[in-house]
Amino acid sequence: MKWMTAPLAVLLLAGCSTGPDNNTEPCAGYETAYNELQDAVNGNGTPAEVRSLVTGLPGQLRRALDGATGEVEAVIKDSRDYALRFAAGNDDAGQAFFLYATTDVADACAAAGRPLDLH
């Protein structure tokens, strides 16, 4: 039975490991939502398309939160809060959303191993 102790201990310790940060999908979802809006704002969309993307942004960010953990989860939640106010017509919140995305969210995703490619 002693021969089983070491392999069993290794298996138990491996099961306790949290492994690498798995925020790939949340960061990818955030990146998609941001880039769609940014591309429309930069002149590729009509005012109606931009408004539709702004209105849909909180829902896209809510979906991006699925599976997010740690700092990535926290910054996407904060960004979603800006997006909610932006969708309600608060332009200052919109400006804050874009700034926050390119700083805090980008930094958190990069630290999690999934750098953002924001347009």
Mean pLDDT for the stretch of residues 38-53 = 91
Whether residue 101 has pLDDT greater than 70: yes
Question: How many whole angstroms separate alpha carbon 97 and alpha carbon 6?
Answer: 52
Question: How many whole angstroms separate alpha carbon 98 and alpha carbon 45?
Answer: 17
Question: How many whole angstroms separate alpha carbon 101 and alpha carbon 117?
Answer: 11
Whether residue 118 has pLDDT greater than 60: yes
- This prediction has a pTM of 0.79
42 occurs within a structural domain: yes
16 occurs within a structural domain: no
Whether residue 19 has pLDDT greater than 80: no
For the beta carbon of residue 79, count every other beta carbon within 10 angstroms.
26
12 occurs within a structural domain: no
Q: Which region among 4-8, 60-64, 73-77, 112-116 has the lowest average model confidence (pLDDT)?
A: 4-8
13 occurs within a structural domain: no
Whether residue 55 has pLDDT greater than 60: yes
For the beta carbon of residue 27, count every other beta carbon within 10 angstroms.
24
11 occurs within a structural domain: no
Query: Which domain, by its residues, includes 106?
Result: 21-111
94 occurs within a structural domain: yes
Strand runs labelled E in 5-92: none
Question: How many whole angstroms separate alpha carbon 63 and alpha carbon 85?
Answer: 18
Mean pLDDT for the stretch of residues 53-71 = 94
32 occurs within a structural domain: yes
In the DSSP assignment, the letter for residue 21 is: -
Domain count, the chain: 1
